[in-house]
Chains A and B, each alone.
Chain A
Amino acid sequence: MPLSTSTASTRYHERDFTGELMGPERLRIACYCLAIPLLVAGCATRTDGSRVAAAPLRAMHREDTLWLERTSFGLDSASVESYRQLGRERYLERQLHPGEFALPAPIAEEITALEVSHADPSKWLADVNAQYKALNAMADGAGKEQARKALNDRGNRLAYEAIRRDLLRAVNSPAQLQEQMVWFWLNHFSVFQYKANLRWLVGDYEERAIRPHVFGHFKELVMASLQHPAMLQYLDNNQNAAGHINENYARELLELHTLGVGGGYSQRDIQELARVLTGVGVNVGETPKLKPDLQRLYLRSGAFEFNPARHDFGAKTLLGHPVTGKGFGEVEDAVSMIVSQPACARFVSRELAIYFAADNPPPALVERMSQTFMHTDGDIGAVLHSMFMSREFDAALGGKFKDPTRYVVSAIRFAYDGRPISNTRPLLNWLNGLGEAPYGRQTPDGYPLTELGWASSGQMSRRFEIARAIGAGNAGLFDREEGAAANAAGFPQLSGRLYFEAVEPFLAARTKDALNRANSQQEWNTFLLSSPEFSYE
């Protein structure tokens, strides 16, 4: 029975729980008993014990829940409530200006306690370089192996902390759109933790190069990633010097970051951009001694360095425009010119539309977003606004297959609905199993944004296994991170108020039929998380 959700009384929930949801008697009783405390608690927080919600809330139609799912890492009661109170437009405005949001206190404390939250990457990089140097000088043997292991363990721990912070925020932050955008841009400007010393840097890369700019102007993102030692090492620009050209970063900057394949640049442009980028690199050691005329062009900030002695000052032509040799200013000019190309507006808009709207986004939508991009000097927030409030976006709702990160995070958000998890290892294991670990994409193209990359037969059965791991137990999500002892037992109750308000009314008959055939709550949970409705948004 589709619910008309304009009133939220306990009564109709009772009717649904007992009346027609479950086949087997025992399950019906189990659900009934579970549901009542959930409802009371849900109402009590808002109404001081009253069982009637205080303010009249908007009904959640199918489009509302799908829209909310798309612009977040999945539904939880808090996001549904916020959407119902604010309405779509104001909800979106808040999400696009997330400054006022705060993480739940225990999560915030957890994150503050992480070593990675107090990173000084240039110091870390200097340390790790020195340690590797010392290691290489050691004689082979047990001592060397031990030192190597200690160094590796530390790198792994720091990268894991960055992942842990990332996942805790994705699951718990009320600034859900911001968290999705962090994922999107980290994937767009992808780096791989196992290259060079990147495990020491990925946390800082996310925190300082990506996160502050997710709703800003696109150029800021390009410049911030361009000046971060993680990107410079990942794509080898730290090796790029006059007379020893390394084109790797220049190529990907055009192909993957800004213009896209077929974006109107040539192999010659790649070579010219590589020359522009000479001298842009990483230094955590001594400042080089330079002649005075070069010295004034020398730049250093943290581990980032522009060394004019390594720069090619010759005249260049990029995308048909002359670039005069003047040092790092060339890089800023070149990036400005690149991001102002219509091809860049189209490419970035299309990538955003693929991730949020549809695998084959409607050309009219991409065009409108590109226009916004060009009129606003690449204002990402404005581009997103034009997408999320468009008719094409509404028309595409329900057809986007969740990539593994969206799938896993949305399942946890739905299953635990605001209850903070303490252990993120199971999430990382699932993401590994589904092939989408954070900072785990080896190639610079980032993970696929479309269903094609994630819905093979093997991946679907893997997804169902994870549905079962989440639905049939607590999967260790409440264990201590490092301890062996389990802190919690049991399994989540997915058939609660959130389910009845925002999921159940929109389930297909086949899915309801499957749920009715469940023999236990765990199995019911597993089927729900395996349903097409849970994999598509």
Chain B
Amino acid sequence: MTRRSLLKLGGAAVLSMGISGRLFAAPSSGARFLLVFLRGGYDSANFLVPFSSSFYYESRPNIAIAKPDPAFNTGALALDADWALAPAVRESIGSMYLQRQVAFVPFAGTEDLSRSHFETQDSIELGQPTTGSRNYRSGFLGRLSETLTGPSRPNSSIAFTDALPLAFGGGAVVPNLSLKNLGKPPFDERQARILSEMYAGHHLEAAVSNGLELRHEVAEEMAEEMNAANRNAINTKGFELEAERMARLMRDKYRIGFIDIGGWDTHVGEGAASGALASNLASLGRGLQVFSTSLGSEWSNTLVVVLSEFGRTFRENGNRGTDHGHGTVYWVLGGSISGGSIVGQQQRLVQKSLFQDRDYPVLNDYRSVLGGLFRSLWSLSPAQSSRIFEQAPPVDLKLV
């Protein structure tokens, strides 16, 4: 007996969950979107290096990244006269940039001035105006997902995380599963059906059946992965492996994805061209490259945004690290974007232009930036846009 017929036999309770519709029909063609949240506040100035600023080198006597040298194919990669890309991502993000598949938005961020990780992460994920009280059950990806699919239709969003992020709050039930360590699904078809049916009519019904189904679905997808790995003998690991798995699921099933990556809070011993931050960036860059290639032709239909709750202090601190700052650099990636550019409002980097004499200012509000990308990607109406990001007019960065 096949899995599909088993599910059908499960009766009305199972069918009414809309499982089979969601699981076995690939989403109709349409844009895909992945949000990569770097939790901890990554040091954007040692990623997108403002190498034309002598103030950068004065501010970071121990951890600055050396100016790009056109004579060499290593070291920082000059993107224009002012900005260079960290050596750690030269091969990955750098080569994608040269193919115009990557753009950067420096001086991006939020109005939130708490410089508190959890406060600012929450406020970004909720994506609500900072004035007025917060609704913790309404995140911007939840609103986006609902706008695109309608509350009555099965949505095709997924969080590649252990807990459901605030960003997906509200709206329909969104499945979540970390792809880091995948074991065998613990329950067979019959057991999963019995478990689901125990929750029929319960408000957790959708969460329970989605969760159990997702485990099976992922197991099926990953059986393919194991075969592929055996054939090609490619030994991917860490974030690259996760990225490959994400691509597989987003290629076949899901349109909106979320993943978070920690380890960016570099108060101490941050390193420069190499070191703690560089190896995190290198792994992230390679993973995103794997994500793009694994999506195959669907990469041209996909947009990825990488962001973090805030940037870090422009000056290095006494421990060769950096502290919580304000503005940061967002990344936009996609197979068919007009990339190879550094976009949004910008400013020359001198001491005077620092916010509170310590951080990048925020010139590009994250809600307007994301709202603009969403509007172009899905041709949203003004009403839809303002439902996702209330009181934040979308800004067109001309990337999509």
Given A457-B207, A458-B214, also A464-B163 (CB < 8 A): no
Cβ A530 vs Cβ B198 within 8 A: yes
Query: What's the nearest-Cβ distance from chain A to residue B193, in Å?
Result: 9
Cβ A510 vs Cβ B163 within 8 A: no
Cβ A514 vs Cβ B164 within 8 A: no
A517 close to chain B: CB less than 8 A: yes
A 315-350 binary contact with B (CB < 8 Å = 1; else 0): 000000000000000000000000000000000000
Q: B174-182, B282-290, B378-386, B389-397: which one contacts chain A?
A: B174-182
Given A456-B163, A457-B176, A459-B163, also A445-B118 (CB < 8 A): yes
Query: What's the nearest-Cβ distance from chain B to residue A52, in Å?
Result: 36
B136 close to chain A: CB less than 8 A: yes
Point out the residues of chain A lying under 8 angstroms from B207, CB to CB: 455-457, 460
Query: What's the nearest-Cβ distance from chain A to residue B130, in Å?
Result: 13
Point out the residues of chain B lying under 8 angstroms from A262, CB to CB: 133
Complex: chain A residue closest to B210, CB-CB: A457
A487 close to chain B: CB less than 8 A: no
Residue from B118, B202, B211, B212 in contact with A532 in the complex, judged by beta carbons closer than 8 Å: B202
Point out the residues of chain A lying under 8 angstroms from B117, CB to CB: 443
Complex: chain A residue closest to B204, CB-CB: A455
Complex: chain B residue closest to A532, CB-CB: B202
Among residues 92 to 126 in chain A, which have CB atoms less than 8 Å away from a CB atom of chain B? none
Given A458-B175, A458-B177, A514-B194, also A453-B163 (CB < 8 A): yes
Cβ B195 vs Cβ A457 within 8 A: no
B 160-183 binary contact with A (CB < 8 Å = 1; else 0): 011110000100011111100000
Cβ A510 vs Cβ B200 within 8 A: yes
Residue from A456, A465, A514, A531 in contact with B176 in the complex, judged by beta carbons closer than 8 Å: A456
Point out the residues of chain B lying under 8 angstroms from A514, CB to CB: 194-195, 197-198
A452 close to chain B: CB less than 8 A: yes
Among residues 102 to 154 in chain B, which have CB atoms less than 8 Å away from a CB atom of chain A? 117-118, 133, 136-137
Query: What's the nearest-Cβ distance from chain A to residue B326, in Å?
Result: 17
CA A283 to CA B194, docked complex, whole Å: 59
Query: What's the nearest-Cβ distance from chain B to residue A311, in Å?
Result: 24
Cβ A461 vs Cβ B211 within 8 A: yes
Query: What's the nearest-Cβ distance from chain B to residue A112, in Å?
Result: 36
CA A445 to CA B117, docked complex, whole Å: 12
Complex: chain B residue closest to A466, CB-CB: B186
Among residues 196 to 220 in chain B, which have CB atoms less than 8 Å away from a CB atom of chain A? 197-202, 204, 206-208, 210-212, 214-215
Query: What's the nearest-Cβ distance from chain B to residue A149, in Å?
Result: 18
B353 close to chain A: CB less than 8 A: no
B187 close to chain A: CB less than 8 A: yes
Among residues 124 to 169 in chain A, which have CB atoms less than 8 Å away from a CB atom of chain B? none
B293 close to chain A: CB less than 8 A: no
Among residues 299 to 324 in chain B, which have CB atoms less than 8 Å away from a CB atom of chain A? none
Cβ B173 vs Cβ A457 within 8 A: yes
CA A532 to CA B205, docked complex, whole Å: 10
Residue from A435, A468, A511, A531 in contact with B163 in the complex, judged by beta carbons closer than 8 Å: A435
Point out the residues of chain A lying under 8 angstroms from B174, CB to CB: 456-457
B191 close to chain A: CB less than 8 A: yes
A184 close to chain B: CB less than 8 A: no
Cβ B195 vs Cβ A458 within 8 A: no
CA A462 to CA B211, docked complex, whole Å: 9
Cβ A443 vs Cβ B211 within 8 A: no
Point out the residues of chain B lying under 8 angstroms from A510, CB to CB: 197-201
Query: What's the nearest-Cβ distance from chain B to residue A192, in Å?
Result: 12
Complex: chain B residue closest to A512, CB-CB: B198
Point out the residues of chain B lying under 8 angstroms from A83, CB to CB: none
Query: What's the nearest-Cβ distance from chain A to residue B208, in Å?
Result: 5
A392 close to chain B: CB less than 8 A: no
Cβ B198 vs Cβ A464 within 8 A: no
Query: What's the nearest-Cβ distance from chain B to residue A435, in Å?
Result: 6
Interface of B is mostly: loop
Given A457-B211, A527-B195, also A464-B187 (CB < 8 A): yes
CA A308 to CA B289, docked complex, whole Å: 57
CA A530 to CA B187, docked complex, whole Å: 12
Given A453-B163, A532-B202, also A460-B208 (CB < 8 A): yes
B 32-43 binary contact with A (CB < 8 Å = 1; else 0): 000000000000
Cβ B212 vs Cβ A464 within 8 A: yes
Point out the residues of chain A lying under 8 angstroms from B163, CB to CB: 435, 453-454, 456, 458-459
CA A345 to CA B202, docked complex, whole Å: 35
Point out the residues of chain B lying under 8 angstroms from A452, CB to CB: 136-137, 169
Query: What's the nearest-Cβ distance from chain A to residue B320, in Å?
Result: 14
Cβ B194 vs Cβ A458 within 8 A: no
Point out the residues of chain A lying under 8 angstroms from B162, CB to CB: 435, 458-459, 462
Cβ A465 vs Cβ B214 within 8 A: no
Point out the residues of chain B lying under 8 angstroms from A513, CB to CB: 197-198
Point out the residues of chain B lying under 8 angstroms from A464, CB to CB: 186-187, 195, 212
Cβ B198 vs Cβ A461 within 8 A: no
CA A229 to CA B70, docked complex, whole Å: 53
A523 close to chain B: CB less than 8 A: yes
Point out the residues of chain A lying under 8 angstroms from B215, CB to CB: 461
CA A397 to CA B365, docked complex, whole Å: 45
Query: What's the nearest-Cβ distance from chain B to residue A191, in Å?
Result: 15
A 482-510 binary contact with B (CB < 8 Å = 1; else 0): 00000000000000000000000000001
Query: What's the nearest-Cβ distance from chain B to residue A535, in Å?
Result: 8
Cβ A461 vs Cβ B136 within 8 A: no
CA A532 to CA B117, docked complex, whole Å: 35
Point out the residues of chain A lying under 8 angstroms from B211, CB to CB: 456-461
CA A453 to CA B207, docked complex, whole Å: 13
CA A527 to CA B194, docked complex, whole Å: 8
A 423-461 binary contact with B (CB < 8 Å = 1; else 0): 000000000000100000001010000001111111111
Cβ A532 vs Cβ B137 within 8 A: no
Which residues of A line the B interface, CB within 8 A?
262, 435, 443, 445, 452-462, 464-465, 468, 510-511, 513-514, 517, 523, 526-527, 530-532
Which residues of B line the A interface, CB within 8 A?
117-118, 133, 136-137, 159, 161-164, 169, 173-178, 186-187, 191, 194-195, 197-202, 204, 206-208, 210-212, 214-215
List 25 contacting pairs A-B, 8 Å CB cutoff, sorted by A: A435-B163, A443-B117, A453-B163, A456-B163, A456-B164, A457-B175, A457-B177, A457-B206, A457-B207, A458-B214, A459-B162, A459-B164, A461-B212, A461-B214, A464-B212, A468-B186, A510-B198, A510-B199, A510-B201, A513-B198, A527-B194, A527-B195, A527-B198, A531-B198, A532-B204
The 4 closest A-B pairs by CB, nearest first: A457-B211, A456-B164, A461-B211, A458-B176
Beyond A458-B211, A532-B198, 17 additional contacts (C-beta under 8 Å) are A452-B136, A454-B163, A456-B164, A456-B207, A456-B211, A457-B173, A457-B174, A457-B207, A457-B208, A458-B163, A458-B177, A460-B207, A464-B186, A510-B200, A513-B198, A523-B191, A526-B191
